[in-house]
Structure 1
């Protein structure tokens, strides 16, 4: 995996996780660890076998991985998703805050294809990996993990407890400057009923979604042009907040898994934002095929 060249259809993620390269490598290659932070099922016997599958994996009805290369800092394997063979590579490097993890996966569909819902299971690969790496970071830190995306279920529902008050959590989800910090994307938000919510900003998405419910500290619901809704409810107790997210209004035979996995990865970041002293995003780079310039913004 070269630092000099990245093909246009490759996904590239770089994140710093809180452990030494040796410990991170163990988490990447221990099947018991993989069954915690990555997948429902995993089998590893390197250098010959590296497989994961199950309901938390896109196209996960059976394992479709084949080892290409392995050494003490690198793991590379072929992964066939929806009949397309991709190449996935992990590289580990020392960092002052732990380990810099670089992941590159080839042959992803374009952002336009994902939005048009023509990408199949490959459309969820970017958000699958961002959620997985977020959970890897929390696994290494000994923190509770965020719910994985179940690619077999039409029920898009998750609940997490955040160590912050409902007002604090609500503000961080509905104030543009705060949302930008923890989610890692530019966003314009009009925080009231009838107001717009535009990932990437109003220049990229002038219509955006519309708040059809907005009760500060309690709940908010966004409705998109196609009738799809995304809502969250907050309930406080002892200075903490139970945040419940629900998405609905979609074809149950074709749930919007890419966006749902993206929200779950965002919630992992939201939890760290509120709970870690001296918070800093784990992300150093997120580069995906066809994502409009200016949408993603990592400080």
Structure 2
């Protein structure tokens, strides 16, 4: 069994409010999954289109107390183990941590198992939890039954500001939380981890200031960011195309959409700092 993958997010709300969102079925149906039934210590189930293999609930509670829940989760025929824990971060914030066994990055690369989506899946879930508890509109999440990705959000910033944060290496690195280097012109390189660490960088296909930015990733397809502005706000549409329709790159989509959640916060939250907490 692989070591647990850990993701952590800082939610700007007291532990009591965050724990209620985690353990109330109606709340969980807003931020966690299309369908959710929670009745601890006996039940913590979620399923639906935005849940991997979400045709039915595949979770079984292993343990629970007033700050944590651990459950078995059957994925691709393997019983994995996941855990969610909350802890105080001062009087008005909470750190939420997720552990998840049986995550292997090779499954991301090969697409051999749905378990390859687990890291970006949990990042989406934690971002959604933070948005819900903090009273912010939720960022769209991956539909694991879909064969295309088209997601739209509104950002409270002008298109010029949003566009700059997509094409400027330093700014993109700041809000995405991972080193990114970009040559902002058609034909330029787009490297996750930086040029020195990415031997096969993506390529900029389109760059129309304040309107459109497209990047060709190769096998995972083409990401297009479309911008439209009105009254100092930006409607940002993310479209993914050009991939093998029989093997949609769900893990990559999840990473992009959790990134969109942080991009919105970067432009909208006063005194912004990353929501993600290093393990």
TM-score normalised by L of structure 1: 0.90
Alpha-carbon displacement from aligned partner over 1:150-208 (angstroms, at most 9, x marks no partner): 00011200111000111100111111111111111011110000001011111221331
Unaligned runs of 5+ in 1: 1-6, 287-299
What's the counterpart of residue 245 of structure 2?
252
What's the counterpart of residue 295 of structure 1?
none
Contact 1:138 1:144 in 2 (8 A): yes
What's the counterpart of residue 271 of structure 2?
278
3-state SS in 1 of match to 2:277: strand
Q: 4+ residue runs of structure 1 moved beyond 3 angstroms?
A: none
Q: Does 1:184 align with 2:177?
A: yes
1:70 pairs with one of 46, 64, 71: 64
Q: Does 1:170 align with 2:163?
A: yes
Contact 1:196 1:207 in 2 (8 A): no
TM-score normalised by L of structure 2: 0.96
Alpha-carbon distance in structure 1 between the residues aligned to 2:103 and 2:129: 22
Q: Does 1:46 align with 2:63?
A: no
Unaligned runs of 5+ in 2: none
Alpha-carbon distance in structure 2 between the residues aligned to 1:83 and 1:113: 14
2:95 pairs with one of 85, 92, 100: 100
Contact 1:18 1:99 in 2 (8 A): yes
Q: Does 1:265 align with 2:266?
A: no
Alpha-carbon distance in structure 1 between the residues aligned to 2:252 and 2:217: 13
CA root-mean-square deviation: 1.3
In the TM superposition, what is the alpha-carbon distance from 1:227 to its structure 2 partner?
7.5
Matched ranges for 1:1-299 at <5 A: 9-96=3-90, 97-109=92-104, 111-118=105-112, 120-226=113-219, 228-285=221-278
Alpha-carbon distance in structure 1 between the residues aligned to 2:2 and 2:111: 20
Instruction: Count matched residues.
Output: 278
